[in-house]
Chain A
């Protein structure tokens, strides 16, 4: 199980990387942590003539914080977020999510930008960043552009970015201080990708709630009806649960395909439990 031959180049900065990507015929592919790319290469599921390593580009490793957002360079690792070596925008949600991705040895190299760029429908960051309303900053031959989360993830392994663009950073809006969240990931074996992920953020100070269902369909599903049911809800009640179930059914009906009965049970559970957790019930 060894890759096909390829060339390797280490980009020293973003322009260097963009130059490598500019020549479409060269078939270059960037590598961040390599934690998804190298397994694919090993399995010969993917082959690229040229791999451009962006993991050491200083700009992509930067992280900063402003009054209303946290900005993470694309090559910040899951492990760094887990360890609090990056500012936390969402009352601990990002740290929690990071700690639940794969295993520590993978988290030490895998990056948030790599995850977002790969756009595996089951990936934790894809769901989480959508729930947080993150913005993705891509840079290409024509300069920078910003892509809002709902426009970013177009399908499994398919984002709004072009092959000539590099994801350089991710801007995550801060929640207010007393915002709460719930994150519920169903896996059969710990550390694996989720079968279903529910992410719920409740920010009463901003009268905002967001609910995203991940992993269960081709792209994460923004559950707007569930979010509406949760907005302003002070605590978990039976009435709320009933309302939520109805709302979830409404949201699921908008998915690109009908859920099989067993899937419907699981995804409903996932969202309900994430919501309950956000309201302090576990």
Chain B
């Protein structure tokens, strides 16, 4: 680690990833760097299919990169190696994840879904139960505690998913287009909650979104294009196109 990076909670250097496609291959990430400071938020924008999800997967060590390094709280990992079981254990406490399609477990009710994440870490106990309840009320869905996920609206589901991602007090929350399935108004509410809660909880946030106004709300803002991250402003045309797709 280089000096001056003490407050970096997540860092990736020189990430490259290409997928085999028939005879050839497509290069999704090329020498991408990313840095997230403790308790800060970062938004990633980019056109559809440019590799945002792939980037998050590499940061979460769910997928092997071709090259590069990822470090969680200063613990550096070779991104091209298979995730070790130690990383699995770390992941439970270090990361929270929120996806566009919520991925709530249909056999568990809302409270059990949230506690499931706790079970995967330290285990469910009184404390985690209390925390789950307070997160639910923070998310404004405390009355849905015993509800089955399939009976919730999209907005409610995503609120529950955010509560689940936060139950273990993760250092970083990775959110992959969390409002992608929601209408503008609900999406706005959910996004406000997400940003505000991460801020309160001092949880770092990496937010992938198509919506420039949501992206703007983050502490910093980067763009993924041609496999590289940059803070440069994107051409107007591409931005509009992305917005259209989002809605």
Bind each other: no
B residues contacting A by CB (< 8 A) are none
